[in-house]
Amino acid sequence: QVQLVESGGGLVQPGGSLRLSCAAPGSIYSIRAMGWYRQAPGKERELVATITSGDTTNYAESVKGRFIISRDNAKNTVSLHMNSLKPEDTAVYYCVAYSFVGDYWGQGTQVTVSS
């Protein structure tokens, strides 16, 4: 089945940094944008950041100035550089690819921010 591949999650101390990566299979056509969502225990899934093929970015207010989303259109990959991490950033992070025919998701990668 079609599935995005995520990597980079793990345990980090408050104030630390982490980099998440996501790759879309070649079978997904016409990707117009990619992004990241996250879901903390007991909370709804929320948008973290998106980036279009033209490098237009959008960030959740809670991560502005701390997270940076970047892309490689030739490889259909997207990364999320997370800095100054806080315990409230703890969540499962999901990659999404927006295509002409629909949206595709990864299985999620756990990010835990704790001392």
- 3-class secondary structure per residue, 2-69: CCEEEECCEEECCCCCEEEEEECCCCCCCEEEEEEEEECCCCCCEEEEEEECCCCEEECCCCCCCEEE
Burial (0-12, 13-18, 19+ Cβ within 10 Å), 64: exposed
pLDDT averaged over consecutive 10-residue blocks of the chain (115 residues)?
A: 88 98 86 95 96 94 98 88 98 94 94 97
pLDDT of amino acid 27 = 78
Determine contact, residues 24/31, Cβ cutoff 8 Å: yes
